[in-house]
């Protein structure tokens, strides 16, 4: 997994990478509105619930845990 704060060019690089028939395990983009601790909590949440290849070829924008309906 790649964790980054690059919200601008990373999606472009991923699209190019996938267009060449390549794959990635997943990219997680940190949220600047969250504190470092909140971003870390989000990554721990994802790691605890991770299923094999669940995030392959995807970009996930944090916060991930808040995107579920209550």
Q: What is the mean pLDDT of the chain?
A: 87
pLDDT at 53: 87
> The whole model's pTM is what?
0.79
Burial level of 42, CB count in 10 A (0-12/13-18/19+)? buried
The boundaries of the domain holding residue 61 are 2-67
Q: For the chain, how are helix, strand and coil distributed in percent, rounded to 5?
A: 40, 15, 50
Number of domains in the chain: 1
**DSSP code for 46:** H
pLDDT at 67: 53
Query: In this predicted model, what pLDDT tens digit does every residue of 21-45 receive, in sequence order?
Result: 999 999 999 999 999 999 999 999 8
């Amino acid at each position: 997994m790649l964790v980054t704060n690059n919200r601008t060019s990373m999606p472009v690089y991923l699209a190019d990478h996938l267009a060449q028939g390549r794959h990635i395990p997943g990219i997680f983009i940190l949220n600047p509105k969250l504190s470092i601790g909140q971003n870390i909590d989000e990554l721990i949440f994802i790691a605890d619930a991770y299923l094999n290849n669940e995030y392959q070829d995807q970009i996930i924008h944090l916060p991930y845990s808040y995107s579920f309906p209550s």
